[in-house]
Structure 1
Amino acid sequence: MALQQIDHADEEIRACIDNCLEAAQACEWCADACLDEGEEMARCIRLCRDAADLATLHARFMARNSGYHADLAGVCADALEECAEECEQHEHDHCQLCAEVLPDAVETCREMAAH
């Protein structure tokens, strides 16, 4: 695996990268599927798009050992948490899956922010 080849990536960083990328995928799917659900899903779509962008950016910052990744981790965790809370309110399968996936990324991002 590519992540195992990154010298500076310990197990904690690898887990956070994996969780962020999985969260981004769930958010992108949810945002796309919400487009078919009507205008009442606008907030969910916006939050999913923000969360996906921040999660992928955070994963990229960790992969390149950016000095800013710990700062970004807190913002990423906040966005993912708000997105999960929004998705929990909707009964659509894509929203429920998103709400299930995001807490792992929130947890590992908070751990990264603490460094």
Structure 2
Amino acid sequence: MALSEIDHLTDEMEQCIDSCLEAAQACEWCADECADHGEDMAECLRLCRDVADLATQCARMCARDSAFHTQTAELCAEACEACAEECGQHDHDHCQLCAEVLPECADACREMIEAMD
């Protein structure tokens, strides 16, 4: 069953869900890799874990058409931006992937919110 078969999902909600799940995957990988790099990667690890949790929650709330999915999407977008900024400061492949993927997730979350207004 494809997401397009869920009748309450708009195109923007589908894109938000897809972007959130991609962001969560990237951040889980990055957090795991950062754990092996010591204290200087602690902030990156924390932010990646926050994004992974928030992005997964956002996708879940959109899928069930929660009354709070737009608020969750805004918080997810903010966390994505903070994490992308942090990850962008590091040369590791996992950090650079986050720095690339997370702004796209933030944009998809905000586009979904705007479409809901």
- Same fold, TM-score > 0.5, yes or no: yes
Q: How many residues align?
A: 115
Partner of 2:75: 75
Partner of 2:14: 14
Gaps of 5+ in 2: none
Gaps of 5+ in 1: none
Q: Distance in 1 between matches of 2:10 and 2:87?
A: 31
Measured against aligned partners, the alpha-carbon deviations of 1:46-105 in whole angstroms (never above 9, x if no partner) come to: 000000100000000000000100111111100011000000000001000111111110
Letter in 1 for 2:34: C
Q: Distance in 1 between matches of 2:19 and 2:94?
A: 17
Task: Give secondary structure in 2 for the equivalent of 1:95.
Answer: helix
Report the TM-score when normalising by structure 2. Answer: 0.94
Partner of 2:95: 95
Check conservation: 1:81, 1:106, Cα contact below 8 A: yes
Identity fraction in percent: 64
1:30 Cα deviation after fit: 0.2
Partner of 2:33: 33
What aligned pairs does 1:33-72 form with structure 2 within 5 A after superposition? 33-72=33-72
Q: Distance in 1 between matches of 2:74 and 2:113?
A: 5
Q: Distance in 1 between matches of 2:67 and 2:74?
A: 14
Q: Distance in 2 between matches of 1:107 and 1:78?
A: 10
Q: Distance in 2 between matches of 1:53 and 1:19?
A: 14
Please provide the CA RMSD for this pair: 0.9
Measured against aligned partners, the alpha-carbon deviations of 1:18-51 in whole angstroms (never above 9, x if no partner) come to: 0000000000000000111111100000000000
Check conservation: 1:87, 1:99, Cα contact below 8 A: yes
Report the TM-score when normalising by structure 1. Answer: 0.96
Q: Distance in 2 between matches of 1:75 and 1:28?
A: 18
Check conservation: 1:34, 1:44, Cα contact below 8 A: yes
Q: Distance in 2 between matches of 1:13 and 1:65?
A: 9
